[in-house]
Structure 1
């Protein structure tokens, strides 16, 4: 494992041309992402600079560094490779080493973001959450899973780039810390969480369901939506999905929320729509105990016709 680099805030500022718009990728819950491209012996290296701007974050920085330096965590391809960190007074940041194209949040509404690319994101993030939730003495719970926290690399693989609120596994239980009152990422927060007084991996399942709905409906919750008091993506989906509810099993099975433009994608199969919609709706079920596990979600996604037809592109064996 390479030695972790201790960075100053001035270095991060220089790396990003004083955090210029030309280097800006997007936001995350507590700050912003920027690009950096540097020439090294042997060629260029690409980095993502993440700057925390709001909130009490020193514990979040420490937890993220511990997690991303753990050998087992680095075994999953969607875990982001950590290059260095900055804890320079009140200035906090990290540098990841990979070439970022854009965030899933930015890509979701775009026509250029194809059906296959969306399915690839859905599969890889489901795989990552299954990995985090299982195979450890205690499950890791992300708690603030958000489309804005997922960046695609140059090969279209999603990288989870914010682990600021992870609890469980090798980490302390941050859900009880007095300075960690944040419950999740806005618009992805499970409105039914905390009823039993403790954190659950079903909160991650709910947030994943919101991301999956965004991927298939081309909808994200924007700042202007909040100002206009428009419904969250999951609220809109529940209304639309139930609008045509019928006692007919056949009609119910055919319900799909896939955006019309995506149904015209040459790689879209009509059988995909209803199945992936139903899975997303199960993930946001009001009853957390009725939500699927991420293992069940991944298993269901692997049965989609699009996955079977394009297994090599999607990295499915």
Structure 2
């Protein structure tokens, strides 16, 4: 049975749309496969796409038969639900493909690149990074807010910089929901479909996840890692994993602890990369504020981490957000299902 009323594509069509999954259309890996740009030819108005292909999991993650098909079906259910259908921070579903072992979904988005790919690049400016972070905070705040008495908050559980694509205006779009729970789904930690996977390397609170704990503070932790990466231009690579290098949040905590005695903790400490701090849109007071906000997200004790609503409010107080509110999206009412946008 085809899930909901979305287009079903033959795999050969996706080969055509992506120019045979060419290197020029390759965006990068996500936790369970690969992302490619695509375009439907011969249309009066160009239709730009992202094609996501599920694969057998690399050595980093355990894999069980049927995992990826279940993730695909759950994602289709989620993205067709009215609760998330119109949120600008969540990708729009265009279609899917189940062709033998080939499992794909197709999104309607003209993707510029992933946040993961852009983080270390000099051309990714301070203002663009703030726009990406603010947009991500907004969509997580939306997902974490209980939509009604019938639905609990969503928990993404595998938030990762590689799971966020930016369009050509640097608007972030969350594009993987392979481990989502809550909302219209039960907390899937009680089910067998991913008990053997605890999140994304470098973005996971290992202590909580390894105990089977299902909490939106896991998403807060991952958001903190992404925010640290955005401001410091650091990402955790496969080479880092193989070498046993510290995760971004471990590096950040060590930097803070090493400098705590030398700096005025109230105003001085900042992990903003010096090239970003030198940009015209950077406001010096924001460096310390955003650094400490990110560090609060990755503290070990879950109950000491802020909520996404608190994070969103804190980001709105940054000078760069105040001065560029229209550009970063701070003046937008994002979605009719988001009750939090009016409570600043």
TM range, normalised to the smaller chain? over 0.9
- Runs ≥4 residues deviating over 4 A: none
> 1:245, 1:252 within 8 Å by CA — same for their partners in 2?
no
Secondary structure at the residue paired with 1:189?
coil
Q: Where does residue 205 of structure 2 map in the other structure? A: 190
Aligned ranges 1:27-176 → 2 under 5 Å:
27-54=29-56, 55=63, 56-136=67-147, 137-176=151-190
Task: After superposition, give the CA deviation of every residue in 1:203-237 in whole Å (9 maximum; x if it has no partner).
Answer: 00000000000000000001111122110100000
Check whether the contact 1:246–1:252 (CA below 8 A) recurs between aligned residues: no
Matched, 1:269 2:271: no
Alignment partners' CA distance in 2, 1:155 and 1:45: 17
Q: Aligned partners of 1:230 and 1:247: how far apart in 2?
A: 26
SS in 1 for 2:165: strand
| Offset, 1:23 | 1.5
Q: Distance in 2 between matches of 1:108 and 1:308?
A: 23
Contact 1:82 1:97 in 2 (8 A): yes
Where 2:207 maps in the other structure, the secondary structure is coil
CA distance in 2 between partners of 1:206 and 1:294 (Å): 10
Any conservation in 1 of the 2:321–2:328 contact (CA below 8 Å)? Answer: yes
Contact 2:198 2:210 in 1 (8 A): no
CA displacement 1:95-146 (0-9 Å, x = unmatched):
0011000000000001100000000011110010010010322010000000
Greater displacement, 273-282 / 84-93? 84-93
1:23 aligns with 2:34: no
Deviation per residue, 1:35-91 (Å, 9 max, x gap)? 112235432110000000124211111111011001120231111000001122221
Using a 3 Å threshold, how does the CA distance of structure 1 residues 182 and 274 change in structure 2: closer, same or farther?
same
- Consecutive unaligned residues of structure 2, counting only runs of 5 or more, are 57-62, 332-344
The 2-side partners of 1:289 and 1:298 are apart by 17
Q: Deviations over 1:217-265 (max 9, x none)?
A: 00000111112211010000000011111397x4443211101111001
Q: Deviations over 1:266-293 (max 9, x none)?
A: 1000000000000000000110110000
Q: Distance in 1 between matches of 2:311 and 2:329?
A: 17
Aligned residues of 2:229 and 2:248 also touching (Cα < 8 A): yes
Q: Which whole-Å CA distance do the structure 1 matches of 2:71 and 2:186 have between them?
A: 11
CA distance in 1, matches of 2:33, 2:210: 29
Change (3 A) 1:178 1:135: closer
Corresponding residue number in structure 2 for 1:209: 224
Task: Report the counterpart of residue 305 of structure 1 in structure 2.
Answer: 319
